Amino acid sequence: MILAYSLGSVLVISLISLIGALAFLFSQKLLSRIVFFLVSLSVGVLFGDVFIHIVPEVFESLSSNIASISILGGILLFFILEKFLHWHHSHAEDEDCEDHSEVHHKTLRSVILVADGLHNFLDGMIITAAYMISVEVGIATTIAVILHELPQEFGDFGVLIHSGLSRARALFLNFVSALIALLGVFVAYLLKDSIDNFANIMLAVAAGGFVYIAGSDLVPLLHKTSKPRHSVMQLLAIILGFALMFGLVFLE
C-alpha cells in the first residue's frame, strides 16, 4: 500500500507539470493573481505540514539530536542545491544573452530540465518516506509538494518556451522530467529496510527543505507587495494553509 499510495501521489504531481500550458489561457493580470494566491497558500501548507505533521512524528521516533541534525541537514541540502542550480542557470542565461545560437538555447533548457529532474527525484523520496509514517502524513506532504510545484511550473514552462521549444515539446519534456519522481519513489522504497529509521530521517530532511523553501523562496515573494488589501489576502491564504494541514490530523 505504501508503494501504491506513493506512486499515485507522484503521478498526480507529475500531471501538474502540464499546467504550464494554462499560462497561455489566462491574461497576465489574472495569472499573477493566481500565482499570488498559490504562493501565499503554499507558505501556510509547507509550514503547517512541517510543524503539525512532520516534526511531531520525527521527534517521537528519533532522538532529539538526530532529528535536529537531520532537519538542519535538510536546510543545508536545499540551500546547496539551490545555489548550485542557480549558478548554472545564471551561467546558461549569460551565455544565451551573448549568443542566441541553438547550442546556448540547449544549455538553458538542459539546466531547467536537470534542475527539475533532481528536485522531482527528491520529491518522490520525500513523499514515499511520508507514506511510510502514515497515510495522513503522506497526504499532507503530497499537498505541500503540489502547492509549491504549481507556481514553479508556470515559470519553468515559460523558460522552456524562451529557449526555443514549441509548446508541445516543452510540455512533453517537462512531463518527462516530472516522471523522474517515480525513480525517487522506488529508491526510497528499496532503502526503507536497509537504513535504520530511514523514513523518519528522510522526513526530517524534508522538514528542513520545506522550511527553507517557504522561508527563503516564498515569504520574500510575499513581501514584494505591502498594500493592505494584498497583505490581508496573503494572511488569510496562509491561515487557510494552516487550517488545511490541521484538518488532516482528523484523517486517521
What range does the domain containing 136 cover? 2-17+29-247
Q: pLDDT category, 104, cuts 50, 70, 90?
A: very low
Residue 85 lies in a domain: yes
Please say if the pLDDT value at position 153 is more than 80: no
In a domain, 211, yes or no: yes
Q: What is the pLDDT of residues 186-244, one digit of tens each?
A: 999 998 877 778 889 999 999 998 999 889 888 988 888 888 888 999 999 999 999 99
Which pLDDT does position 100 carry in this prediction?
47
Q: What single string gives the DSSP state of each residue in the chain?
A: -HHHHHHHHHHHHHHHGGGGGGGGTS-HHHHHHHHHHHHHHHHHHHHHIIIIIIHHHHHHHS-HHHHHHHHHHHHHHHHHHHHHHHHHHHHHHHHHHH--SHHHHHHHHHHHHHHHHHHHHHHHHHHHHHHHH-HHHHHHHHHHHHHHHHHHHHHHHHHHHHTT--HHHHHHHHHHHHTHHHHHHHHHHHHTTTSTTHHHHHHHHHHHHHHHIIIIIIHHHHTT---HHHHHHHHHHHHHHHHHHHHGGGG-
Q: Is the pLDDT of residue 247 over 50?
A: yes
Per cent of the chain over pLDDT 70 is: 79
Position 36 confidence tier, pLDDT thresholds 50, 70, 90: confident
**Residue 22 falls within a domain, yes or no?**
no
Q: pLDDT band for 22, please (50, 70, 90 cuts).
A: low
Q: What percentage of the chain has pLDDT greater than the value 90? A: 31
Q: What total number of domains does the chain contain?
A: 1
Q: Is residue 207 part of a domain?
A: yes
What integer best gives the mean pLDDT of the chain? 81
Residue 24 lies in a domain: no
Tell me whether residue 23 is in a domain: no
Residues 27 and 223: their CA atoms lie apart, in Å, by 23
Average of per-residue pLDDT across 140-169: 76
Residues 52-78 have pLDDT tens digits of: 999 998 999 899 999 999 999 999 988
175 has pLDDT over 50:
yes
